[in-house]
Amino acid sequence: MKYVLLFVGTQEDQDRWDSQPQEQYQAAMAAAGKWFGDYTKAGKVVGGEQLKGTVTTVRAENGERVVTDGPFIETKEVIGGFAIVEARDLDEAHEIAKTWPGGPVEVWPTVEN
């Protein structure tokens, strides 16, 4: 079964990430790269990308399309990237997510066709 792992945080988390010293940034990127490499070689990560900036959402409101900041009106979450993983079940997807070297990870099951 496939799951999408979303690497999430707040705008404050993103600001801290953007302002960290270069050595710390490089070490964090190396750890993330190693995580992706290890799970790709193991056949668990089957896709994914790093994302840039914050999201905007296009919604229908009163018959018009409106662009708003953030994935939800109430929050300004930042999604730093995602991975698509192949896992036997949700428990295995959680175990993979627990090894992510960064911040919080949302685990989303995909619809199997």
List pLDDT tens digits, range 6-53. Answer: 998 888 888 888 899 999 999 999 999 999 999 999 999 999 988 876
CATH number at 35 reads: 3.30.70.1060
The domain containing residue 73 runs over which residues?
2-109
Q: Are 57 and 68 in contact (CB under 8 A)?
A: yes
pLDDT for 12 equals 86
Domains identified in the chain, total number: 1
The structure's pTM equals: 0.79
